[in-house]
Chain A
Amino acid sequence: MAEARAAGTAYTPTLLIAAETTIQRERRLPLSGELHVAVGDSVAAEQVVAATALPGRVSAVNLARELNLPPGEVERWLLKRPGDTVEYNEPLAEYKAFFGFFRSQALSPASGTLEAISVVTGQALIRGESIPVELKAYVSGTVAEVQEGEALTIECTCALVQGILGVGGEAYGQLAMLAHRPEETILPTALTPEHGGKIVVAGAHLDWAVLERAREVGVSAVVAGAMRASDLDRLLGAPLGVAITGHEDLGLTVVLTEGFGEIPMAGETFDLLNAHAGQEASLNGATQIRAGVLRPEVIVPLREKTGRETPPPSGRLEVGSRVRVVREPYFGELGTVTALPPQPQVIPTEATVRVLQAKLDNGEEVTVPRANVELIER
């Protein structure tokens, strides 16, 4: 049991790359609202399946202060009552004295509905018009479950690729392969207006010129192995501090499958995307690398199911396991585990850690910390 636990903590959980898997995605309204579909309904990715209205912005004005009166006296001079509709700059209250010679007004800071007036403080709260929110299905599939007025779950059998980091939110489009090999870096000229609205796969390295061109032609999303951190900062307009993303408004969504630098896309990831070139896909850049980890994903709903689903990752590291090293000095190298010494060993930093020995695909025999590899299970 101790061995299993130790192994379980020894490596980064594998990113999921599945040729066929059934997933469920919950679609939850930010506030109670209306669902437009029922259990069993087939839905398309971009179909609106639920809607609600978010309460409008609240603005405040202190009528007592505006009129220079004690809060308790405000009531007498009100022109509008809670529940009334008000316009921007419309008088909410007016104080008159000395037969109207002295007059002061309190104006509404916003258009909306007068929600409340406090007799204690004289504060008036005006709520602006409610904001409609429409929720798309995100993935094409079948409604598996509904929580009336709140949420629904859509089930979909699909090919699934999880990335390591994304920016930008949900996106849709046809998959277009720009790179022909996982290690290929494409040029901006590879992008043409025909790629507008599509999800393009750019191979190894995504450079700034390609990103600019992708935005120019209206690409929906780009999937690539890696990019320079400085280019990502440029795209975001500020350095990315913490990997909690998905709400950026960038004009396109970017999903990286490997990380920062110049790293070829993993062969299996590339091959799977390539196998579905031309098909409609859904994609989400939202990432959260914290407790409750969330990775970006590319989902291609399958038209025909084989029923042979990719098994979930076992997480077991064994002699013969295929691994990828995810830390220098062997970052990005693929190899096969040749030994799993049970006792912790001293590595060149002088730290004593659990290691594995592997034969890299370039023939080199190396020892690496178990914490620095990812399993390739398929």
Chain B
Amino acid sequence: MNPEDIRLILATDCGSTTTKAILIERVGGEFRLRLRGEAPTTVEAPYEDVIVGVRNAVTEVEELSGRRILDEQGNIIRPARDAEGVDIYLSTSSAGGGLQVMVMGLVRRMTAESAQRAALGAGAIVMDVLSLDDGWETYERIQRMRQLRPDMLLISGGVDGGEVSRVVEMVELVGAAKPQARLGRQFQLPCIFAGNVQARPLVEEVLQDVAALRIVDNLRPNMDRENLGPSRQAIQEEFLRHVMSHAPGYDRLLAWVDAEVMPTPAAVGKLVQQVADAHQINVLGVDIGGATTDVFSVFDGQFTRTVSANLGMSYSISNVLAEAGLDNILRWLPEEVHPAQLSDQIRNKMLRPTTIPQSPYGLRVEQAVAREALRLALEQHKALATGLKGMRRERVVSFDQQHLGEASLIDMMKLDLLIGSGGVLSHAPRRNQAALMMIDAFEPRGVTRLAVDSIFMMPQLGVLSQVHPQAAEQVFWRDCLIPLGTCLAPAGTPRAGQAALTLEMKEQTLPVAAGEIQLVPLAEGEKRQVTLHPGRGLDVGEGPGKSRTAEIEGGVTGLVLDGRGRPLVHPAPADRAPTLTRWFGEMGMYPGEEVGNRG
């Protein structure tokens, strides 16, 4: 169907717990989200058929819209006619545990890390990274390959023309392990080789009876270049061919869709990339779920995705507590809390992951945990979003894999747009709560726009952008993103008693004191030319103490003038309650006089 003839689009995202359907309609030349429906995903027993959940979610769309979409046989009616059917149907999927990939490379910080980036960028969960310098014994590597049962193996190693034997040596371990695929016991494990071209015939020889081998261009053809595209493409194709086709009901889902089903994170990444490219901006997106937190970034055109597999708000909430430590959770709570009780309370959420906070105190606990989960996820993202390690540089005769090119690409001063997604951000009762959680966790510097994904439809829009970029772009800006406003924050440690930042806006001069935060209303859609004057020694992007002019945008929260310093200076435990109460009060975070009350 020609894109200009498309009027109604149905898209689903089959998540691990919920299948979400959205209906998009062209009205007066513009695509808008019309409504959404959802239903539990049905990949597991007793249904074991993804289509049941898709039909249920679509049925809800039918009931809400009054439009008939499914025919008597339960198939999607296409194309759209009067009061029934849609023109195209698309889907993403992360059900059944998503796409689980094991990665191998020669050197952990070089080819193995490049392979890890390729797999993550393709929307995979990286189960393990094996390399010759990973510290494991041979038998342990083989044991891991056998036990983890990945969906797929990605093997990198060696630059083109480099030494062959080490690569083959590693592949021989795969031969000895004879790993099995997670789904479809009778099938061979899909295995992608993206290493030294000279090693190809030997790799084929070793793996011919062991795995379903596919060979693609080297993802690290030389030390100075990464070539991740062919590997990502191959991972996604193998995902469809091997993994999805063995998951229950997916044969029909694959037959239904008008464009290839994408792994959910790959679709989100696609959308983030398109937004960054189209507007020439640096974007950071985060999706915090129950089990995992995904971070996507595009800085200076370079896309990176990471998955923090055990940072999440329900299944993984105890792990956030374990990794962050109780003190780091407590530092976001204004009330006096018994540490052991707080620990029990957080752990109970893991045991009953679908429960929700009922009291404002319970909500603050969840939002405290969310800040730490987001902070840790960004730390992990920064560690992987780096320049290439092992790069030769002029005048450097030998290369040093530890120290060259390790600077993170993530420069929070250069960040233009920060997008938050996932239940704890998208469904925060007040949008200001989402804004402050993101500011506290990510500590944006300079001038940064903030937004949340209203109902997490970025996956569906990502897959839509493959077939109808215009529709995806329109719905993204008009219905998906909720602009929260702009955060203005100087980097450095403000001096007590002085202004950390003074904002000139129209005729107003707004100083914010060191250690304080100030909320200035500026409605959605409104823009202002402003000048930022940082306090002495502080930086808003032009260098220490230098002023900066910028155009800023409002949102449902407004402008957040953050004088608390970067890195953020936390109050001493004795000052915590009054300081947090002041910050939360200024941001209008919680109802009434609730702060400090554990009721």
| Chain A interface (Cβ < 8 Å from any Cβ of B) | 1-2, 5, 8-9, 11-12, 57-60, 62, 64, 71, 115-116, 118, 120-123, 125, 127-128, 164-165, 228-230, 238-243, 259-261, 289-292, 326-329, 331, 347-351, 353, 368-369, 371-372, 374
Choose among A59, A60, A349, A374 the residue with the greatest number of B CB atoms under 10 Å from its CB. Answer: A349
Q: Which residues of B contact A241 (CB under 8 A)?
A: 310, 316, 318-319, 322-323
Beta-carbon contact of A327 and B142 below 8 Å: no
Q: Which of B91-115 contact A (CB under 8 A)?
A: 95-97
Q: Cα distance A363–B168 when bound, in Å?
A: 72
Known: A118-B172, A121-B165, A349-B360. A260 touches B40 (CB 8 A): no
**Contact in complex: B316, A242 (CB < 8 Å):** yes
Select A243's contact among B172, B315, B599, beta carbons within 8 Å.
Answer: B315
- A229's partner among B202, B344, B359 (CB-CB below 8 A) is B344
B139 adjacent to A62 (CB under 8 Å): no
Q: Judging by beta carbons under 8 Å apart, are A242 and B315 in contact?
A: yes
Specify which chain A residues have a CB less than 8 angstroms from the CB of B353 in the assembled complex. Answer: 289
Going nearest first, the 3 A-B pairs with the smallest beta carbon separation are: A241-B319, A57-B139, A239-B322
A115 in contact with B176 given A165-B351, A349-B359 (CB within 8 Å): yes
Which residues of chain B have C-beta atoms less than 8 A from A62's C-beta?
A: 169
* Residue B398 CB within 8 A of the other chain: no
Select which of B43, B169, B315 is within 8 A of A121 by beta carbon. B169
List B356-371 residues whose CB lies under 8 Å from chain A. 356-363
Residues A122 and B165 in contact, CB atoms below 8 Å apart: yes
**CB atoms of B319 and A331 under 8 A apart:** no
CA distance A217 to B357 in the complex (A): 41
Residue of A nearest to B319 (CB): A241
Which chain B residue lies CB-closest to A261? B344
The contact string, 1 if C-beta is below 8 Å from chain A, for chain B 146-185, is 0000000000000000001110110011001100000000
Q: Which residues of B contact A228 (CB under 8 A)?
A: 340, 343-344
The answer to whether A290 touches B358, judged by C-beta atoms less than 8 angstroms apart, is no
Of A116, A229, A292, the contact of B347 (CB 8 Å cutoff) = A229
* Residues of A contacting B59 in the complex (Cβ-Cβ under 8 angstroms): 1-2
Closest to A329 in B: B359
Q: Considering the chains assembled together, what is the distance between the CA atoms of A56 and B365 in angstroms?
A: 48
Do the beta carbons of A5 and B315 come within 8 Å of each other? no
Residue of A nearest to B175 (CB): A116
The answer to whether B347 and A9 touch across the interface, beta carbons within 8 angstroms, is no
Give the number of residue pairs across the A-B interface with Cβ within 8 Å. Answer: 178
Q: Report the minimum CB–CB distance from B434 to chain A (whole Å).
A: 13
Q: Does B17 contact A (CB under 8 A)?
A: yes
> Are B322 and A327 in contact, with the CB atoms below 8 A?
no
Bound form: Cα–Cα A6–B561 in Å: 41
The answer to whether A353 and B202 touch across the interface, beta carbons within 8 angstroms, is: no
* Complex contacts, A239 vs chain B, CB 8 Å: 318, 321-322
A-B contact pairs, 25 of them (CB 8 A): A5-B56, A9-B18, A12-B354, A57-B139, A59-B137, A71-B165, A118-B169, A120-B168, A120-B202, A121-B168, A229-B318, A239-B318, A240-B318, A241-B322, A241-B323, A242-B318, A260-B347, A261-B345, A289-B315, A290-B315, A291-B96, A328-B359, A328-B361, A349-B357, A353-B356
In whole Å, how far is B591's beta carbon from the nearest beta carbon of chain A?
6
Closest to A56 in B: B139
Chain B residues with CB under 8 A of A2: 59-60, 63
Contacting residues, chain A, for B39 (C-beta < 8 A): 5, 9
Q: Chain A residues with Cβ under 8 A from B331's Cβ? A: none
Q: Which residue of B is nearest A164, CB measured?
A: B351
B98 closest partner in A (C-beta): A291
The docked-state distance in angstroms from the alpha carbon of A120 to that of B206 is 10
Please give the distance in Å from B176's CB to the nearest CB on chain A. 5
Interface residue? B567 (CB, 8 A): no
Bound complex: CA A353 to CA B429 (Å) = 11
Select one of A12, A347, A351 contacting B355, CB under 8 A. Answer: A12
Q: Is the CB of A349 within 8 A of B343?
A: no
Q: Is B2 an interface residue (CB 8 A)?
A: no
* CA distance in complex: A260, B202 (Å): 55
Tell whether, in the assembled complex, residue B340 and residue A327 are in contact, meaning their CB atoms are under 8 Å apart.
no
Q: Which residues of A sit under 8 angstroms from B18, Cβ to Cβ? A: 9
Which residues of chain B in 34-70 are interfacial with respect to chain A, using CB atoms and an 8 Å cutoff?
Answer: 39-40, 43-44, 56, 59-60, 63
Would you give the shortest CB distance from A82 to chain B, in whole angstroms?
12
Determine the residue in chain B with the shortest Cβ distance to A109: B138
**Nearest chain B residue, comparing its CB with the CB of A240:** B318
Residues in B lying within 8 Å of A, measured CB to CB: 16-18, 39-40, 43-44, 56, 59-60, 63, 95-97, 137-139, 142-143, 164-166, 168-169, 172-173, 176-177, 202, 291, 310, 315-316, 318-319, 321-323, 340-341, 343-348, 350-363, 427, 429-430, 591, 599
Docked-complex contact B344 and A349, CB < 8 angstroms: no
Nearest-CB distance from A58 to chain B (Å)? 5
Assembled-state Cα–Cα distance A1/B60 (Å): 9
Q: What chain A residues lie within 8 Å of B142 (beta carbons)? A: 57-58
> Which partner residue on chain A sits nearest B63 by CB separation?
A2
The smallest C-beta distance from A76 to any residue of chain B, in angstroms, reads 18
**B139: chain A residues within 8 A (beta carbon):** 57-59, 128
Chain B nearest Cβ from A370, distance in angstroms = 10
Please give, as numbers and ranges, the residues of chain A lying within 8 Å of B347 by CB-CB distance: 229, 240, 259-260
Bound CA–CA A60/B168 (angstroms):
13
- Tell me whether B16 and A372 are in contact (CB under 8 A): no
Q: Which single residue of chain A is at the shortest CB-CB distance from B309?
A: A242
Q: Which of A64, A122, A127, A351 contacts B356 (CB 8 A)?
A: A351
Contact residues in A for B40 (Cβ distance below 8 Å): 5, 8-9
Partner of B358, one of A60, A121, A348: A348
CB of A349 to closest CB in B, whole Å: 4
- List residues of chain B with CB within 8 A of the CB of A372: 355-356, 358
CA of A257 to CA of B355 in the docked complex: distance in angstroms?
17
For the complex, give the distance between the alpha carbons of A351 and B591 in Å.
11
* B29 CB to nearest A CB, Å: 33
Q: A289-B350, A350-B430 are in contact. Are A116 and B355 (CB under 8 A)?
A: no
Beyond A229-B346, A327-B357, list 19 extra A-B contacts (CB 8 Å): A5-B39, A57-B142, A58-B139, A228-B344, A239-B318, A239-B321, A240-B318, A240-B347, A241-B322, A259-B352, A260-B348, A289-B315, A291-B43, A327-B355, A327-B358, A327-B362, A349-B358, A369-B358, A371-B356
Whether A123 pairs with B172 at a CB distance below 8 angstroms is yes
CB distance from A299 to the nearest CB of B (A): 20
CA distance A282 to B413 in the complex (A): 59
CB distance A290 to B291 under 8 Å?
yes
In the complex, A120→B204 CA distance in Å? 13
Q: Give, as a whole number of angstroms, the nearest-CB distance from A328 to chain B.
A: 6
Q: Is the CB of A116 within 8 A of B165?
A: no
A261 to B351, CA, bound (A): 12
Task: Give every chain B residue within 8 A of A353 (Cβ-Cβ).
Answer: 356
Closest to A353 in B: B356
Which of B173, B348, B351, B362 lies in contact with A349, CB distance below 8 A?
A: B362
Query: In the complex the two chains form, what is the Cα distance from A243 to B164 in whole Å?
Result: 42
Can you name the residue of chain B whose Cβ is closest to the Cβ of A328? B362
B427 neighbours in A (Cβ, 8 Å) = 351
A125 contacts B356, C-beta separation under 8 Å: no
Nearest residue (CB) in B for A11 is B354
Interface centre among A118, A122, A229, A259 (most CB of B within 10 A): A229
Nearest residue (CB) in A for B365 is A328
Chain A residues, CB < 8 A from B355: 12, 326-327, 369, 371-372
Least distance between B178 CB and chain A CB atoms (Å): 9
Q: How far is the CB of B292 from chain A (nearest CB, A)?
A: 11
A331 near B350: Cβ-Cβ < 8 Å: no
Say yes or no: B599 contacts A329, CB within 8 Å. Answer: yes
> Min CB distance, A242 to chain B, in Å?
5
In the complex, A62 Cα to B315 Cα: how many Å? 44
Inter-chain CA distance A60–B176, complex, in Å, is 11
Task: Enumerate chain B residues within 8 angstroms of A260, measured Cβ to Cβ.
Answer: 343-345, 347-348, 351
Tell me if A229 and B343 are in contact (CB < 8 A). Answer: yes
Also in contact, A291 and B138, with CB within 8 A (given A58-B176, A349-B362, A350-B429): no
Chain A residues within an 8 Å CB radius of B357: 327-328, 349, 351
Q: Which residues of B have CB within 8 Å of A8?
A: 40
